[in-house]
Amino acid sequence: MKNTPGRLAGPALAALLAVLLAASPPAGADEAVLPPAPDPTGRSLVQALDQFLGQPFREDGAQDEQGRWVTFSRPDQVSPAPGFNCSGLAVAAARALLGRPFPLAEAVFDRRGDSGPDSPLGQDWDFGLDLILNLAQGSPARLLPEPVEAPELRLVPPPEPLGPGRALGWGVNLHGQDFEDLLRLVRPGDFAFFCLSRPDGRFPAGVAYYHVGLIVPEPPRLWLYHSTRGLQTHRLDLAEPGRLARFRRHFPPPRRGERRLFLVEVVPPALFQP
């Protein structure tokens, strides 16, 4: 299937753009330049992500836009030790699939200014949410589940799926049928960033957006890529019998509330083969 921005025309695109354009990363971030990379023409999304498989998990681990191993908290300190955490993998994958440098400061930009060190809601409570919205911004994309038409969506500027109450209700229950239905909406040729949230009393916001990764359909396969403690960067075929259950066991239901997941589906450049 050919990847063109025109496939996202209509009300769904308008709703998404209103969400993604409500905040912008720091000015000047696009001035960074990526090191030379292999030409992706003719490759599939899955082939482009092969380079990350097997990288060790490293707490707070990421690569800067020059490909050096650093951490999100100390991007100025280069480390000889390789490795990603889940967010570091998402940033590296976005660079490979979207062809943009994504400096770390741009990737982790606090879109609403509500999760900094002095935030009354807690520091970094919505880190994963900010991250995947920042990575999707500037590309044709849509939120899944799509926003329901409601008066608050017509506010200017429109709210993002953030904040006490609204945050707790965003996405679908990881352990419900809605999650399986949501996965089927990601179209072959596109990919999706996912973000997991859970109730978390450590934050006054009452919720933490704490784990991210990617979903890449390759029919009949449905690949999920992520990096987790105790495991290397890896992928699961959620269409293979037992794999979805394995993923859910790794993230069991909390004692109170639900683990919830939402997706941002992104149309990659037309360089990739579906």
What is the rounded distance in angstroms from the CA atom of residue 242 to the CA atom of residue 8? 33
**Stretch 19-38: mean pLDDT:** 44
What is the Rg, in whole angstroms, of the alpha carbon atoms belonging to the chain?
18
Least confident of 24-38, 42-56, 182-196, 211-225: 24-38
Residue 59's pLDDT band, with cuts at 50, 70 and 90, is very high
CA distances from 47 to 59, 120, 160, 238 (A): 26, 43, 33, 18
Q: Where are the domains of the chain?
A: 10-21+43-266
Q: Which residue has the higher pLDDT, 270 or 24?
A: 270
pLDDT at 164: 40
pLDDT at 47: 95
pLDDT at 192: 96
pLDDT at 43: 81
**Cis (ω within 30 of 0) for the bond into 145?**
yes
Evaluate if residue 39 carries a pLDDT over 50. Answer: no
Find, among 153, 134, 108, the residue nearest to 18 by Cα.
153
**Stretch 57-78: mean pLDDT:** 96
pLDDT at 266: 94
pLDDT digits (tens, 9 = 90+) for 93-127: 999 999 999 999 999 999 888 889 998 889 998 89
pLDDT at 69: 97
**Stretch 29-57: mean pLDDT:** 70
Evaluate if residue 272 carries a pLDDT over 80. Answer: no
- Output the six-digit token pair for 8: 């996202």
What is the rounded distance in angstroms from the CA atom of residue 21 to the CA atom of residue 139? 11
pLDDT at 274: 60
Evaluate if residue 78 carries a pLDDT over 90. Answer: yes
- Output the six-digit token pair for 1: 């299937």
What is the rounded distance in angstroms from the CA atom of residue 117 to the CA atom of residue 230? 29
pLDDT at 257: 86
The mean pLDDT of the chain is 81
**Stretch 82-93: mean pLDDT:** 98
Least confident of 37-51, 113-127, 188-202: 37-51
